[in-house]
Amino acid sequence: MATSMSGPIVSGQVISGLEVRGPINPGFEEILTPEAMAFLAELEGRFGGERLRLLDVRTKRQALLDQGHKPDFPPETRAIREADWTISPLPVDLLDRRVEITGPVDRKMVINALNSGARVFMADYEDATCPTWTNLVEGQINIRDAVRRTITHEDPASGKKYRLSDKTAVLKVRPRGWHLEERHVLMDGEPMSGALFDFGLHVFHNAKELLARGSGPYFYLPKLESHFEARLWREVFLVAEEYLHLPHGSIKATVLIETILAAFEMDEILYELREHSAGLNCGRWDYIFSFIKKFRKDPAAVMPDRAEVTMATPFLSAYSQLAIRTCHRRGAPAIGGMAAFIPVKDNHEANEVAFSRVRADKEREASNGHDGTWVAHPGLVPVAREVFDAYMPTPNQIARKRTDVTVTAADLLAVPAGPKTEAGLRNNVAVGIGYIEAWLRGQGCVPLFNLMEDAATAEISRTQVWQWVHTGTALDDGRVVTPDLVDRIVAEELSAWETHVGADAYAKGRYADAASLFRDLVAREDFTDFLTLPAYERVVAEGA
């Protein structure tokens, strides 16, 4: 039976059918109020069942792909693709998004990102945040304070103080994907949706404040695989606007096209969200992961070394330009992909190489017609901004309709050629271990080998190794990638990590656990859709 909606919430309390299992640390009661929990209960009660049904649809679609079926533009929605329609007008503060920075929701990062000079900051509860209970609720506190411009931070080690500048980036929030659960909040004994938890708390506490300050509740939606999943978000938005008495259409969302299946339904996704749409984004790293994952059992769909799969690769170039044409036809912005490079300290030559690669990537995006791009580090904001300032003197390029672009299903499904090497295999193993190790310690955004990595890169790494093992792929030197070969390389790369970080840091870390999980994910016959699912099980079991 639900408790009375009065007094501070405590762990184990049930409000409107939701049981909070996580500890209520100081300040958490200001976020997990009875009123906020009642709103979450409304969302989960209305939409939790449909979320699970759509996840089951994903499973059934995967079974068809495993049998050799290939996706295509859906014939049943041809009328939507061929009709003339546009999304609702964009808010003023979303017209110019030439540089967007992304990052986790920890307090220092939020301040630095908002101060970075980027036009938009995407505060990420998904791939850049390990979803420990503390990370998630403290993230909500940090975002609440940032919206009200009261956020400050003092570094305990250096004593340096951080506060917001007069001019800051526009805030967007990325909740977790539909596949993730929040195991610290139960409804009828079952975990609620992580997406609804993240979205619900943010919009409940901050939507009216953002609107009063001339902005609005803006979101990024990850990992969608169909327009039906976009439709579910639309229904969530409508209920939230009605429940919280927000203006109709004030919630705006940019959808990340980061799955191969969503690439065939860009028009349909924009159409479903047309009153709430803020365009599409090319989530390139997860897109590569999705391509490998969806066609994982097809020996003809084996990718070369991950480093060879750049945005100049035909299938990625086709997807990027299709996104631009589709968005611009519908009056929507098309945001480009992530530059994961970070400044290389104490190595001017390496730093210049990294920056030159970023410039080339951003020049390709801007010249193709993208309306903005992503960076992962404040040091890359000026580099990307300089390129877009040169190529895009107007707030966006939506007027460039790119009617010259024609993309077929075959273009989207073209598997790139390239080498498959031991070096590529080793890099996948090293990155996989390094990222998972940090994730198990509660860190979701990790600098590795001069790149800022989130879960997407680790997903590509372990998925590619799985595919090479389970399709019997041969390396260029003739050796077949077997479980024994992978085990040997895992052991060697684990030893390399000890050398790299030192014996003390290695002993205090989770490297052996990370290697064990990586090895298990690669060896098992049944592919695990997301490495964050078993990793989350471990985090929760350890009480985080």
The CA–CA distances, whole Å, from 234 to 90, 383, 429 equal 16, 35, 39
Catalytic residue among 58, 454, 462, 519: 454
CA pair distance 364, 177, nearest whole angstrom: 29
Structure tokens at 128: 């850049």
Distance CA 269, CA 284 (A): 18
Helix (H, G, I), strand (E, B) or coil at 312: coil
Task: Show the tokens assigned to 100.
Answer: 């967007």
User: Do residues 269 and 258 make contact, with C-beta atoms less than 8 angstroms apart?
Assistant: no
Whether 454 is catalytic is: yes
Cα-based torsion angle of the residue sequence 179, 184, 187, 190 in order, rounded to the nearest 10 degrees: 60
User: Exactly one of 174, 234, 462, 519 is catalytic; which is it?
Assistant: 174
3-state secondary structure 235-258: HHHHHHHHHCCCCCCCCEEEEEEC
Q: What is the H or E stretch that residue 162 is in?
A: strand 161-163
Is residue 166 flagged as an active site residue? Answer: no
Give the separation between CA 160 and CA 181, rounded to whole angstroms.
36
End-to-end CA distance of the chain: 27
DSSP string covering 164-220, please? --SS-PEEEEEPPPTT-EEEEEEETTEEEEHHHHHHHHHHHHHHHHHHHTT---EEE
One-character DSSP codes across 104-127: ---HHHHHHHHTSS-SEEEEESST
- Amino acid identity for residue 57 in this structure: V
Residues 6+ apart with CB under 8 A from 189: 19
Please name which of 421, 449, 417 lies closest in space to residue 433, comparing C-alpha atoms.
449
Distances from the Cα of 65 to the Cα of 74, 186, 441, 460, angstroms? 15, 33, 35, 19
Q: Which amino acid is at 207?
A: A
Burial 176-212 (b: 16+ CB within 10 A, else e): bbbbbbbbbbbbeeebbbbbbbbbbbbbbbbbeebee
Paired with 57 in beta bridges are: none
Q: Dihedrals φ, ψ of 512, to 5°?
A: -65, -40
Q: Which residues participate in catalysis according to the annotation?
A: 174, 454
